[in-house]
């Protein structure tokens, strides 16, 4: 396979991995006071070194720390920012049997300020632990608004939502600047808001709360660009799109058509990791809007099931995508991380992770080698 020296790569993964039993037990023991912080952090460090070695052993060009220091995929951001509280929104997770629960989302109960580094310290440890390219992941700015809309702020604190957006973008700029100073060259935004804004049911909810879904897409594109202004020239920015990944449940469905022209062309990122493992993600036709200077990583391999995909089926779907965007602008990955919410009951095992990633690497070699 032709290996690029700069990400994204033909064979990728999204970020999180299943916690090893020792780390999962250590988290419980630390929470209950059985072990102290120093011992817990030491176990985290060992676990991260092990998952880095696992990724390097597979031959991946970019590696993560498995998100092993987080309570959940977005928790690190919320924990590092003063001013956030949590409240229930209106958008719930559902499966084939109907709605199964509504997740709480962050809202600004005080002026929001970055209290400490969000992922900078995590990156420094990861950088020292690998010879591959370290990738760090962080929730995308729209996640901090979409699921509550006007209720994403206390109106006494932010009577004008634009002031909240300005403070939010400033937090990202500060974090990205420090990441650049630390040597980070690969950052991924995890975006769940915009994919949900493709669902007709969700768009009706957005309208009912007094917002225009298409105007919101435009505003989010501007917000992301404001957050990225001043990014280092050598930092690749990827954006991962996901509709939910909890116990196989999802928050939304629908193809990317309602947002595709805006987010492919107006958002200043280099690559898009697109969920495409089920028919709920729609077809590949929206890829016709991808400009020549951007890369698409097709999330065709599912982290929701241990069943291994057929290599021939993956190649067939890559060919279908290549009808709309040139093959040399495409890569392959899972549709999401392997453990976005630790302890959420995911059925994927460590061996399943290995088999899925080996499959991705082999298919990428066959297609682009």
Count: domains in the chain: 1
Three-state secondary-structure class, residue 224: helix
Contacts of 44 (CB under 8 A, 6+ apart): 23, 26, 68, 69
Q: What's the domain range around 82?
A: 56-368
Average pLDDT in the chain: 92
Flag whether 280 is in a domain.
Answer: yes
Distance CA 337, CA 136 (A): 13
Report the distance separating Cα 290 and Cα 38, nearest Å: 47
CA atoms within 13 A on the CB side of 72: 13
CA distance linking residue 100 with residue 86, whole number of Å: 19
Residue 15 lies in a domain: no
Tell me the per-residue pLDDT of 116-157, one tens digit each, with 9 for 90 and over.
999 999 999 999 999 999 999 999 999 999 999 999 999 999
Is residue 246 in some structural domain?
yes
Nearest to 301 by CA among 350, 352, 351, 236: 352
Number of C-beta neighbours around residue 279 at 10 A: 9
Residue 79 counted as domain residue: yes
As given in the structure block, the two tokens for residue 196 are 């949900």
75-84, 315-324, 325-334: range with lowest mean pLDDT = 75-84
Q: Does residue 11 sit within a domain?
A: no
Q: What's the pLDDT tens digit per position in 185-224? A: 999 999 999 999 999 989 999 999 999 999 999 999 999 9
Asked whether the predicted pLDDT for residue 98 surpasses 90, the reply is no
pLDDT at residue 344 tops 90: no
Please give the pLDDT value at position 345.
Answer: 52
8 A C-beta contact, residue 61 and residue 133: yes
What pLDDT, on a 0 to 100 scale, did the predictor assign at position 177? 98
Pick from 253, 272, 260, 281: which is nearest to 214 by CA? Answer: 260
- Structure confidence at residue 73 (pLDDT): 79
Q: What phi, psi does 298 have (nearest 5°)?
A: -85, 115
pLDDT at 88: 84
Determine, yes or no, domain membership for 9. no
List Cα–Cα distances, 342 to 17, 73, 183, 289, 345, in angstroms: 9, 9, 28, 35, 8
What average pLDDT does this structure show over 290-315? Answer: 96
Asked whether residue 12 is assigned to any structural domain, the reply reads: no
pLDDT over 90 at 252, yes or no: no
Q: Which residue has the higher pLDDT, 78 or 236?
A: 236
Structural domain contains residue 14: no
Alpha carbon distances (Å) from 299 to 9, 67, 102: 13, 19, 25
How many other C-beta atoms are found inside a 10 Å radius of the C-beta of residue 225? Answer: 16
For residue 310, what pLDDT is reported? Answer: 98
Q: Please identify which residue in the block is written with the tokens 């690559």.
A: 271
Residue 32: the pLDDT is 96
Could you tell me the CATH number of the domain that includes residue 255? 3.20.20.210
């Amino acid at each position: 396979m032709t290996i690029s020296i700069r990400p994204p790569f033909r064979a990728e993964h999204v970020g999180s991995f299943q916690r090893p039993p020792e780390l999962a037990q250590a988290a419980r023991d630390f929470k209950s006071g059985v072990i102290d912080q120093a011992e817990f952090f030491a176990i985290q460090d060992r676990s991260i070194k092990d998952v880095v070695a696992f990724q390097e052993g597979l031959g991946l060009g970019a590696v993560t720390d498995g998100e092993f220091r987080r309570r959940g995929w977005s928790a690190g951001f919320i924990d590092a920012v003063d001013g956030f509280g949590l409240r229930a929104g209106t958008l719930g997770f559902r499966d084939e049997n109907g709605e199964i629960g509504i997740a709480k989302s962050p809202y600004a109960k005080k002026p929001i300020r970055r209290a400490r580094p969000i992922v900078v310290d995590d990156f420094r440890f990861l950088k020292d632990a690998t010879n591959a390219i370290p990738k760090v992941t962080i929730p995308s700015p729209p996640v901090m608004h979409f699921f509550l809309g006007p209720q994403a702020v206390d109106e006494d604190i932010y009577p004008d939502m634009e002031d909240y957006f300005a403070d939010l973008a400033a937090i990202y700029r500060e974090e990205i600047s420090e990441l650049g100073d630390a040597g980070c060259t690969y950052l991924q935004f995890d975006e769940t808001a915009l994919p949900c804004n493709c669902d007709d049911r969700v768009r009706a909810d957005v309208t009912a709360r007094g917002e225009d879904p298409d105007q919101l897409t435009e505003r989010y594109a501007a917000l992301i660009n404001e957050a990225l202004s001043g990014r280092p020239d050598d930092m690749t920015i990827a954006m991962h799109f996901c509709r939910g990944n909890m116990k196989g449940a999802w928050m939304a469905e629908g193809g990317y058509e309602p947002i595709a022209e805006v987010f492919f062309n107006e958002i200043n990122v280099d690559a898009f990791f697109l969920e495409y493992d089920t028919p709920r993600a729609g077809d590949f036709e929206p890829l016709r809007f991808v400009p020549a200077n951007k890369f698409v990583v097709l999330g065709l391999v599912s982290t929701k099931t241990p069943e291994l995909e057929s290599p021939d089926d993956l190649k067939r779907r890559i060919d279908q995508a290549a009808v709309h965007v040139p093959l040399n602008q495409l890569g392959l990955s899972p549709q999401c991380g392997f453990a976005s919410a630790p302890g959420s009951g995911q059925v994927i095992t460590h061996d399943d992770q290995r088999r899925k990633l080996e499959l991705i690497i082999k298919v990428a070699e066959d297609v682009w080698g």
